[in-house]
Structure formats: structure tokens, C-alpha cells
Structure 1
Amino acid sequence: MTEIEELSRGRPVAIVGAGLVGSGWAIVYARAGLRVKMFDRDPEITRKAFALIAGQLARLHAHGLVAEDPAAILARITPAATLADAVEGAFYVQESVLERVDVKRQLMIDLDALAGPDLVVGSSTSGIPGSAFALGLGLSARVLIVHPVNPPYLVPVVELVPSPETVPATVAFADALMRAVGQAVVHVRKEVEGFVLNRLQAVLLREAWALVQDGVASCEDIDKTVRDGLGWRWSFMGPFETIDLNAPGGVADYAVRLGPLYQRIADSRRHPQPWDEGLIREVEAQRRERLGRDELEARRAWRDERLMAFAARRNAASDD
């Protein structure tokens, strides 16, 4: 019996929320051989989700990222008419509803009324701690954050964040499930808004917006700095390994040599103000000069194609 079979015992995964994130998760689980029941309160969102999933599976197959017939994978995903239908018989729920505390809290209350004694719930929230919406319920010990990067079937990292009421067995189960479906697990050991990934991204984004506001560089030159500079190394190593290799004596040597510079940079920014309307208009104008609003969807498809090509090359390299 495979690990997937041991974890699921033949039962399905329920996806609640069929937007971009929920659709992405459906691909992850179905690709791994699991049956998936997908529910959204808006049937039109579910209909669009199936069209998106079918197209992405065909592209994944073309890049060699799924060997199985895409139609067979798609057949493992079925729509559910109600939340109760989606949860019935499921061993795991991937919550991917709106990024609002009130919406997530009501869903947890609804799931609490439907859940069997061993149902585990993972929330796809990008930054809301579980303690904000998942405490004080019979289900609470079996709820945790399972935060992906979008699209999760191409970018595998996933953050596991327990709430104060999540029991260790739930974390262990989620870890095993994520590894079994091909995700790279990050354990966030204490609740913090934004978790790890978005806190790191927030620092870079805040400085990027500030550099535009100060007239230091254009949006394109900032993108170029990451795309053609930092991103080359970051595509296969993280910031600590990067600096460990960038000084003769390793990371401690780097800290001595360049730590004062980074401290001065940090001291020069206090970021007390939100991105104001004028700055947002300026960045929007610069981006629309390079990419029209009507071209966004096509550019997203281009992004996914590039990610698929990158994933295929990375997988081939890891097999060597």
C-alpha cells in the first residue's frame, strides 16, 4: 500500500472554494491519484474551474509534468452540489475560500457540524493565523494552515502553521500528506501574520515600492534587478545559502563584511505610510505601459508555461 493509500484509505479530498487556489489544489491532489470533490457556493466559479483545470492538465502533459492521460486525472475531480456533499466521506478538506476572517470562521462552524471524528482541515489562507478563525470548536484540534504558492501544482512549497489548539498529530498528518502529493513542506513554528513566505516577500515589495516613490529606479529596472539578478540564484538556493557562498569565510564572514551596510539600509527605511494613491497610480501607469490590462490573462498563461518549462528542467536535473 502506498503512502497516499494509507493516508486516504480510498476516501476523497474535499476542496472548498473553487477559485484559482482551489483549482490549483485540485490538480495537485488528482495528479497524485486522489479523488477530489470540489465545492463552491457559486456554481459558475466551479464551471470555470473545470475549464481551467482541463487546460492546465493538457499543458502539464505537453511538458512531461504528468505522464498520465489528462482526461483520467480530470475524471478524478467531481463537482459537489453542497458543502455536505463535498465533505461526506472525505478524509481531508482544503479550505480555499475568500481571504476574510468572517467567511473562514463561518465555514469552520459549518464544517464542525459536518465533520467526522478524523477529518483534517487545511486552510489555504495567505496570512491569517488559524487562531483568528479556527478556535473553540470540536474540530479545532484538526485544523491548521496549509498555505501554498499559486499555482501549487507548479510551485511546490507549502507552509504548515498550527494554531494554539492544533494537536501535533494533525501537523504530522498534514506533513505526510503534502510530501505524498509532491509538495515541499515548511514548518512555521509559531503563529505570525503572513507566515514566512509573505513576510519575506513583503520586505522586498515594500522596498520596491519605496524605490519607485523616491525616483531611484523604474518598475521595469526593479523587476530586471530581480529577474536577471537575484532571481537567478534564488531559483535554486535561499538567502542564507546565498550569503554563505558570497564571502571567503562563509556566512559569519559575510555578516562582518556587509552586516553594517545592511543595517544602514534598514535604518534608512521606517515605512510608516501605506502605499498612497499617487504611488499606486504611478506604478499602475508604468506597468500598463509595458502590459495592457487586456493582456494580463495571456501573460499569466505565458508565466505558467515558463514555470512548466522550468519545472520540467528542474525535475530532469534532480533525476540525473
Structure 2
Amino acid sequence: MTDNHKIQALCAGRPVAIVGAGLVGAGWAIVFARAGLNVTMFDANPEITRQAVPLIEGQLAGLQRHGLIDEDPATVLARITPVATLAEAVEGVAYVQESVLERVEVKRQLMVDLDALASPDMVVGSSTSGIPGSAFALGLSISPRVLIAHPVNPPYLVPVVELVPSPETAPGTVSFADALMRAVGQTVVHVRKEVEGFVLNRLQAVLLREAWALAQEGVASCEDIDKTIRDGLGWRWSFMGPFETIDLNAPGGVADYAVRLGPLYQRIADSRGHETPWDPALIRDVEAQRREHLPQSDLEARRAWRDEHLMAFAANRRARDPQA
């Protein structure tokens, strides 16, 4: 849930900007606009901006169907203004959410451009999935006001956001981003030191690496591996994290669990070297297995199906916990 008065006070009535209007950027536009903020949206490719508007309109209609916005979708959409230049996008804004290509040189150039345009108090959050801020945001006058604000896609349905300061990020920047993200309804995770992939993708990387290895070794099919998460681990992980899960899975709690099963997990870890990337033959095999269950032509429809399920899940969470 959001607090409109708090949001407006935090931003002093100023808009926020989205730079990079792809799936993640468009998702962020929904997060801020549904919270009552005016949003400017810019992409260096005008076609991406053009495509983002109907995407946002459709997602807002879905949010209304599930009771996840309190206003008419047209009212929320009217707060989002596509613009033609970066200068227009950031003029007078309190905060910029950067969601451009996941390439260091692209992000660095954008930081240089923002440095020339930024007001003295404008804060910049980067949606990067794993590149530390020190790789692209140091040595500029704006550097103390830049941090990582990494979401899960789509951010308007999956609320977690990782805040990761660079060595030059000012403490006040982290405090502002924390307050803003909480006010617009996100769940904040503070990453205390820079590490590639942050927390979420490092956890996801371990699971994905093992899933690909199990498929490669013929231990189980891709579908059966998916079932294991979908109809097994995922049920608990949808409302509990791994530490709470194991704390409840042994009579004496987490320490008891560690004594009972720690050696097993160590043997599993020792059995994996993971010294090579996913090779082309493995990728072809996994691709073939996935296409048996989902033709390439059905990917977009299946993404819409995913979002509908996430909306229903979010609505259920809200009904159970109005503060969620």
C-alpha cells in the first residue's frame, strides 16, 4: 500500500523520471504513477517509448480487474508523460529510475549525460541486475546521489527492490531511496557491500546452475525440474524465505536443521565444480524441451498468463495483509 501524502512530501511535489522504457522501465512507471506521482518517460529509441504506452495501459486494466489499483486506469496513465529528450525527462524531477541496456558503457554514458543535466539534489537509481555502481557511476559530481535500485520484473507485481550503494554514494541518498521505495509500496532489501549480482541474482544463480546441471546429466527433464519448484519448494518460498523455511523444518529450529542436514548440503556442494558455462549443446537441449511445452509463438501469451497469476497472488496477499 502507498502513502500519497508521504510520497509527495518526499519528492516535494516534483515528478520522477524513467530513463529506458522497456519492460522494466515501463513497470517502474506503473509503480510510481499508481502511487500518485507524475512520471516522465524517455528512451533513446522512440519506438520503445511508443510501445510502452499500450503495454502500460493493458497492465493497468489488469491491475484494476484484480483490485490492485484504487483509481481508474486512465487516471493513472495520465500521470505518465512520454518525452522526446533526456533533458525533458529529468527537468525538475526529484528521482530518476535508470533502466537502460545492461552494459557498462551504456550506463556510464548515461551517468555522464545526467551529470550535465541534474539538479543539485536529484537522486538516480539504477535497475541494473548485477553490475555494481562502482563500474559506471564513480568520479562524477552526481556520484554521491547514485545507487543501485534493482527490482524484480515486473516491479509493480513483485515488490522487492535491492538498494546497493557504491563507495561514493552518500548515506542520505540511501535514506531517501529507502523512504521513497517504501512509500510507493516496494519491499526494500539493503545490500551492505558491492558484490556482482547482489543478493537476488546470486541466490537465483545457484538454483539455475543446479537446474541446468541436473538437466544436462539426465537426472530429470526440464519439466520435472520446473515441477519441483512450482509444486514443491515454490509453495513455501512464496511466503517464507530460506532461513525461515529451515528454521521451521527441524524440531529444534535452524541450528538443529544445520546439524541434521548440513553435511548433506556440503556433500552436494562438493559434488559440483561448475567450472564451465552452459554449453551450446545443453542450451539446444533445454530449448527443445521448453518448446515442447511452450511453442515460441506462445511466449507472449504465456507472459500475460504469468502476470495474471501474479496479480491474483498480489491481490490475495493484500487481502491477507493490507500492509503488504
TM-score (norm 2): 0.98
| Corresponding residue of 1:160 | 163
* Distance in 1, Cα, partners of 2:123 & 2:291: 43
* Distance in 2, Cα, partners of 1:319 & 1:305: 20
Q: Give the counterpart of 2:183 among 172, 180, 183.
A: 180
What per-residue deviation string (whole Å, max 9, x for no partner) do you get for residues 87-107 of structure 1?
101010000000000000000
* Distance in 1, Cα, partners of 2:279 & 2:247: 37
* Distance in 1, Cα, partners of 2:311 & 2:17: 26
Q: Give the counterpart of 1:140 among 138, 143, 155.
A: 143
* Distance in 2, Cα, partners of 1:276 & 1:305: 34
* Distance in 1, Cα, partners of 2:14 & 2:144: 21
| Corresponding residue of 1:255 | 258
1:2 is aligned with what amino acid?
H
What per-residue deviation string (whole Å, max 9, x for no partner) do you get for residues 121-140 of structure 1?
00000000000000000000
Residue 245 of structure 1: CA displacement? 0.4
Give the alignment of 1:220-259 within 5 angstroms. 220-259=223-262
Which sections of structure 2, spanning at least 5 residues, go unmatched? Answer: none
Residue 3 of structure 1: CA displacement? 1.1
Q: CA RMSD in A?
A: 0.8
Q: Is residue 101 of structure 1 aligned with residue 108 of structure 2?
A: no
Q: Give the counterpart of 1:80 among 79, 83, 87.
A: 83
TM-score (norm 1): 0.99
2:55 is aligned with what amino acid?
L
* Distance in 2, Cα, partners of 1:113 & 1:280: 43
Residue 5 of structure 1: CA displacement? 1.3
* Distance in 1, Cα, partners of 2:263 & 2:78: 57
What per-residue deviation string (whole Å, max 9, x for no partner) do you get for residues 300-320 of structure 1?
000000000010011001139
Residue 80 of structure 1: CA displacement? 1.1
1:98 is aligned with what amino acid?
L
| Corresponding residue of 2:94 | 91
Match of 1:66, SS?
Answer: coil
| Corresponding residue of 2:126 | 123
| Corresponding residue of 1:70 | 73
Identical amino acids, percent of aligned pairs = 81
2:278 is aligned with what amino acid?
W
Give the alignment of 1:9-48 within 5 angstroms. 9-48=12-51
| Corresponding residue of 1:215 | 218
Residue 10 of structure 1: CA displacement? 1.3
1:214 is aligned with what amino acid?
E
* Distance in 1, Cα, partners of 2:202 & 2:307: 24
* Distance in 2, Cα, partners of 1:92 & 1:125: 16
Q: Give the counterpart of 1:49 among 42, 52, 60.
A: 52
Match of 2:227, SS?
Answer: helix
* Distance in 1, Cα, partners of 2:150 & 2:210: 24
Match of 1:34, SS?
Answer: coil
Match of 1:85, SS?
Answer: helix
1:114 is aligned with what amino acid?
L
| Corresponding residue of 2:294 | 291
Match of 1:186, SS?
Answer: strand
Residue 9 of structure 1: CA displacement? 1.2
1:159 is aligned with what amino acid?
E
Which sections of structure 1, spanning at least 5 residues, go unmatched? Answer: none
Q: Give the counterpart of 1:282 among 278, 285, 289.
A: 285
Match of 1:150, SS?
Answer: coil
1:78 is aligned with what amino acid?
T
What per-residue deviation string (whole Å, max 9, x for no partner) do you get for residues 236-278 of structure 1?
0000000000000000000000000000000000100100000
Q: Is residue 304 of structure 1 aligned with residue 307 of structure 2?
A: yes
* Distance in 1, Cα, partners of 2:45 & 2:235: 40
2:270 is aligned with what amino acid?
D
1:180 is aligned with what amino acid?
A
Runs of 4 or more above 3 Å deviation: none
Match of 1:2, SS?
Answer: helix
Q: Give the counterpart of 1:201 among 204, 227, 235.
A: 204
- Corresponding residue pairs, total: 320
1:33 is aligned with what amino acid?
G
| Corresponding residue of 1:267 | 270
* Distance in 1, Cα, partners of 2:322 & 2:171: 33
What per-residue deviation string (whole Å, max 9, x for no partner) do you get for residues 19-57 of structure 1?
000000000000000000000011110010001000000
